[in-house]
Amino acid sequence: MATSIDIKHRAYEFAKQVILFTSGQQYSKVYTSMSDQLIRSASSIGANLVEGYAGSSKNDFIKFYTIALKSANETKYWICLLRDTILQEQRKS
């Protein structure tokens, strides 16, 4: 069974992988903006998990974990949007 420490570590590693992946890419201006948004949302997941774990109440914990979930959903959106637009652009070439 996963613990809260496991999920914080996994979120950190995920954000690190997103940063490493995007830093190795060269995009046009529009994709640079989208990859910046991806980095922000991916790193926000772990930041909110850490904040929730350090919260002063159960309500703080729930609030920050809910924000982390929203950031995860946003991250999925940016990944899919980048994937689909880049693939469509490549098909045109």
pLDDT tens across 63-89, in order? 999 999 999 999 999 999 999 998 777
Cβ-count burial of 73 within 10 angstroms (0-12 exposed, 13-18 middle, 19+ buried)? exposed
pLDDT of residue 26: 76
pLDDT tens across 4-40, in order? 569 999 999 999 999 999 988 777 777 888 999 999 9
CATH of the domain spanning 4-92: 1.20.1440.60
pTM (2 d.p.): 0.85
Cβ-count burial of 45 within 10 angstroms (0-12 exposed, 13-18 middle, 19+ buried)? buried
Question: Which sequence spans correspond to the domains of the chain?
Answer: 4-92
